[in-house]
Structure 1
């Protein structure tokens, strides 16, 4: 198999989580930059990362990177790349683009020049002058940042947040990739309880259950590169078989979601059913002020209303005060809240322990974490006492 350079893209603020996920998959030599993590892998790595990455937006195959301040430089250096290694004679290869702080600021012109350069390269390789583009899709992107052009091919297709379980969306849905990052940042473990008291359509509880079961988030969907001739079907089959072997669907979980919106809860239950998690998550219509738990240790992980509309802020502040009251009543629990609200700790009633800037869509937020005590470790038995006890039991028998 080939050694490839790949890019896992992500929302700003969670690049380190994507790098951690890649390390867990065995790709530990990763370069972390704003909005992306670059790493090396082979064709099997394309399959594995698309199936397993929870917090990444998509996986891109990096074709080349170079400085380009003129259209001629962009054309010639794009043409010099080995596109024939990936694009077959019948490939469909649309070109998309973006430009930030670069002299080549016209995105449409950059797209047209990259398309022309690839066509000219393939003309020379395949000896034809016209490409019908009736085959598999290879979406090319030219991204210009500070006069550096990065050329990639998308291996994912629809974004990796599309797990296959959320066909319906409620108001202001939390993206699955961000929910997964929030859970991983909390260091919640499957043997503890988890409550989302503003669960909406159920994204946080569902993502938590999938993490607990070690279920690959892409297991129920397809990817654009599955149709590529460069990646044999048996390679995808191997990656999916690995994922099935590592999946533990029979774990007992204590995951709960509550909300006051019955229509959102109806969607949450439908999404849990589509995800095969109906018996793993309990949803309840309940105001945040009435949330309780019988479990000694657990995590509250949630995305409360932000109060972005005029007149809502006072109501939202009351919700945060209620959240603070229930958190106080759960002294051994931890609380993790993503919000655009300034200084939520004043309403919750205690200082936060950790804060990280994240983006929920285009809204700048902070993820505030209030840590509870760690569970007490059970004392390890004294080996001598254990031996003596066993000897006494044997003597009695």
Structure 2
């Protein structure tokens, strides 16, 4: 099967996690800002779409070249082997972006790339007329950065964060890809208890359950490249069968999500049910200050309110103080909190063991990590 240059796109700060996931699938990769590059065939496209929990999309890189004039953009785009990807009836909209480049008019760049692809395909398919574009869809992007054009085809369709289980959501839902990253950045394993005391619509507990049972996050959705002739249907069937075989549905889990808002608890329950995990996760209405635990050596992951709106700030700061006091007895538990509040540690009452810069959408946040005592080694 033909090998392609593939790119897994990533939110800022998550590149290393996406790269680890790509390597875990068995592909060597290079890491740059916002993208992880690797080589792979149709099977790699199917597997990476199904399995990558923290990537935004999987794209095929068709070409990368320097372009400082429209003529240059046209000729170099036309020189690419578009017939290797697009059938005669392909529907191929072109989107674009331009940063710090001489060719700054995005609409002109899109039109020129489209025209160049048509010219190449007309020559290949011996056509003098325009194409009908009534076949499978190929979303092409021309991205210019410092006069270097990268032309890609998106293999995912809807972003990979769209797992297909979100029946409803709250005001500021956490992206599923970031929620998965928050879980993967902890020391949690499926045999330990897991709590999200600010569960909102349930995204973090649901992602933890998918990780705990090794369920491929893309298992219940479709991808745009499933309709492409260059990837046989059998390749997708094989990749889905592999995902089914690797899922550990018998793994018992102790996962709890709680929220102060009873409406969010109901939404979280519906979303977990949609994900097929309704019986595995317990949701309840509760204030974080009232959290008590019976087990040891668990993990708490939370995305609490940040107090971004001025009126909310005093209440949020008070809640951080009360949370810090409530968590004092949990010395065997590891606690991870994501917030943009710069004074979190002093309000919580304890410096973090480690913190990591992450972006929640466009909000710069820190992921505060408090590591608990290590569990005793099992007796021989």
Paired with 2:328 and 2:261, the residues of 1 have a C-alpha distance of: 25
Deviations 1:292-312 (A, max 9, x none): 111111111010001111211
Match of 2:150? 150
Map 1:19-98 onto structure 2 (within 5 A).
19-27=19-27, 29-98=28-97
Cα distance in 2 between the residues matched to 1:377 and 1:190: 16
Q: Could you tell me how far 1:239 is from its partner in structure 2? A: 0.2
SS of the aligned residue for 1:328 comes to coil
Shift of 1:285: 0.4
User: In 1, Cα distance between the equivalents of 2:211 and 2:248?
Assistant: 10
Alignment of 1:257-268 (within 5 A): 257-268=257-268
1:295 is the counterpart of 2:310 = no
Output the CA distance in 1 between the equivalents of 2:124 and 2:109. 23
Q: Report matched runs for 1:201-280 at 5 Å.
A: 201-280=201-280
**Which residue pairs with 1:175 in the alignment?**
175
* Stretches (4+) displaced over 6 A: none
Cα distance in 1, alignment partners of residues 98 and 58 from structure 2: 20
Residue number in structure 1 paired with 2:357 = 357
Q: CA deviation at 1:187?
A: 2.5
Partner of 1:108: 107
Deviation at 1:173, TM superposition (A): 0.2
Which 5+ residue runs of structure 2 have no aligned equivalent?
none
Given that residues 167 and 270 in structure 2 are in contact (C-alpha distance below 8 angstroms), is that contact kept between their aligned partners in structure 1? no
Kindly indicate whether the alpha-carbon contact (under 8 Å) linking 2:165 and 2:271 is maintained by their aligned counterparts in 1: yes
Unaligned runs of 5+ in 1: 381-397
| In structure 2, distance between residues paired with 1:20 and 1:362 | 24
2:219–2:240: 8 Å Cα contact kept in structure 1?
yes
1:313-392 equivalences in 2 (<5 Å):
313-380=313-380
Cα distance in 2, alignment partners of residues 257 and 310 from structure 1: 27
Cα displacement string for residues 87-137 of structure 1 (whole angstroms, at most 9, x for unaligned residues): 000000000011111111111111111101101111110111210100000
Residue 343 of structure 1 deviates from its aligned partner by 2.8
State the shift of 1:203 in Å: 0.3
Cα distance in structure 2, aligned partners of 1:118 and 1:235 = 27
Shift of 1:327: 2.1
Superposition CA RMSD, Å = 0.8
For residues 346 and 42 of structure 2, the distance between their equivalents in structure 1, rounded to whole angstroms, comes to 50
- 1:9 and 1:325 map into 2 onto residues whose CA distance is 40
Cα deviation, 1:252-295, whole Å, max 9, x if unaligned, reads 11100000111111110000000111111000100011011111
* Counterpart position of 1:393: none
Q: CA deviation at 1:378?
A: 2.2
Distance 1:76 1:357 in 2: 42
Deviates more, 1:102-111 or 1:223-232: 102-111
Deviation, structure 1 residue 169: 1.7
Shift of 1:326: 2.5
2: distance between equivalents of 1:73 and 1:350? 58
CA distance in 2 between partners of 1:99 and 1:374 (Å): 49
Over alpha carbons, which structure has the higher Rg? 1
Aligned to 1:124: 123
Aligned counterparts of 2:203 and 2:26: Cα–Cα separation in 1: 27
Q: Distance in 1 between matches of 2:215 and 2:371?
A: 27
Inter-partner Cα distance in structure 2 for 1:250 and 1:212? 10
Aligned to 1:281: 281
CA distance in 2, matches of 1:185, 1:249: 23
Deviation of 1:167 (Å): 2.6
Give TM-score scaled by structure 2 length. 0.98
